[in-house]
Amino acid sequence: MRNNFYYEYLHLVLFILSIFLLRLEITTTIAISHHPVAAVGAGNYKCMDKERHALLDFKACIDQDPYGFLSTWTTEDRTTNDCCKWIGVTCNNQTGHVIRLHLVDGDLEGKISPSLLDLIHLNYLNLFGNSFNGTIPMFIGSMTQLRYLDLGSNLFSGIVPPELGNLTNLKEFSLQDLRRCTIENLDWLSHLSNLETLDMSGISLAKEIHWVNAILRLHKLSHLSLDRCDLSHFVRTNSYSYSKSSSYSSIVTLSLAGNNLNSSMYHWLFPLTSNRLVDLDLSHNKLDKIPKYLGSLCSLTFLHIAYNTMPAKFPDFLDNLSGCTSATLQWLDASSSQFTGSLSDEIRKFSSLQTLDLSHNQLNGTISEKVWQLPSLQLLLVSSNSLKGHNNLSGRLPSSIEYLLNLEVPDLVDQSEGVGEATDEFERSLYIGGASGFATGFWIVCGALLVNRRGRKAFFRVMDSLKDWFYIKVMVFTANWQRATHA
């Protein structure tokens, strides 16, 4: 008993340490990825004189550079004369032309110089997370070679210029969190026929009553984020229509969080959804019911409805999601949504469910045994409810929970039997799962999070929620400590 206790103690310490290191390393890696880097694959060429001067003119319009992002942008000696080696600048490794400008999270303050027009081979411009001010320059609409443009999280103000509709080669476009900017007409957006990713979160669309039609004309659009866009005002106008030629949606991920939407929005949400939809975020709204047609979205994998006002019974909610969605749904975040009722047998239909967050609701009764029989379930969060019985589990937790982060959860009650077998199993999981699982899992998760901002937010939200799981572990450890000291 005492030896088994020490194994549990080591197990608990290693688990907590691995979680801490995982979050620390991912946070560090993300931070590094946002720092501008020097050109990759630089050869013996030098950048063109005209393009070097264009970049120097761009720098001259910067009033503040608190982190020294542009400190290498100088011609004081031969080693710094080549702009292809400047931080944040990438050149084509065959021609020497500047093709990428990546200056992210630098708090650069000033104006965007029209000298960028001289970078005629520039196809990637990312100025996210700075303090550029004034209106968004209309001349950016003349940089028609751009395939990637991110002007988000700056201090621009005024109307978003319709000249941006000339950027017909754009595949990814972000105006995220330009809260001082407004959009009165989105007709120009429909010209961006190659657009695959669009993020206008934080920009008011209250005055644009035909934005749904504009979105539906983008037949290649896969990822759309319209968080905090005042879309509830759009619902109240009741003066919109959808063209029959624009009824097809190619959207895979759709985020409409933080728009104060109520359930009357579903009739205009429907045209934006199809069986291609994988990820739907309706969190931080005022929804009071979920329509049954969501259950017919046969590719829906991630559903976020946290922080809504749904004084409905959770079993009824599950019934509305029944259909092909019940076989595909892997992630359901329904926390803080005022759900009542119990965690019923209806959950058995959701055989692919891996993460279920029902914390901070008004659920009661006991957790159905069907929950523990879900073959893919890895994380269940039910704190801050009135559920009974879930703190009195005996025996082993189900294997679906047991394999969280490739670590074994020890017995909760009787650990006097099979101590040797449990020790061998623990050692195998510790050395094999702890090493290969952690390394593989880290790079899979980290790689995905680096390219997916919403994924990063969801990850850290779940990590924060794991405090409840740690509480259970600590309570188990404390109980075993007391038994071991009296053994």
pLDDT digit string, tens, across residues 181-229 = 999 889 999 999 999 999 999 999 988 888 998 999 999 999 999 999 9
**Per-residue model confidence as pLDDT tens digits over 247-278:** 468 999 999 999 999 988 888 899 999 999 99
Task: Decide if 350 is inside a domain.
Answer: yes
Report the pLDDT value the prediction gives residue 89, as an integer from 0 to 100: 96
Domain of residue 454: give its range: 1-35+400-487
Does 319 lie in the same domain as 382?
A: yes
Does 404 lie in the same domain as 385?
A: no
Contact, 90 vs 100, CB < 8 A?
Answer: yes
Of 392, 420, 446, which residue sits at a domain end?
392
Checking if the pLDDT of 106 tops 70, the result is yes
Task: Decide if 82 is inside a domain.
Answer: no
Token reading at 309: 């006002």
Does 313 lie in the same domain as 296?
A: yes
Between 156 and 458, the more confident residue is 156
CA 21 vs. chain centroid, Å, equals 21
Does 474 lie in the same domain as 385?
A: no
Task: Decide if 369 is inside a domain.
Answer: yes
Of 335, 365, 392, which residue sits at a domain end?
392
The residue behind tokens 């190619």 is: 250
Does 465 lie in the same domain as 386?
A: no
Specify which residues 304 forms β-bridges with: 281, 333
Task: Decide if 439 is inside a domain.
Answer: yes
Of 371, 392, 413, which residue sits at a domain end?
392
Task: Decide if 322 is inside a domain.
Answer: yes
Domains contained in the chain, number: 2
The span from the CA of 359 to the CA of 342, in Å, is 13
Task: Decide if 364 is inside a domain.
Answer: yes
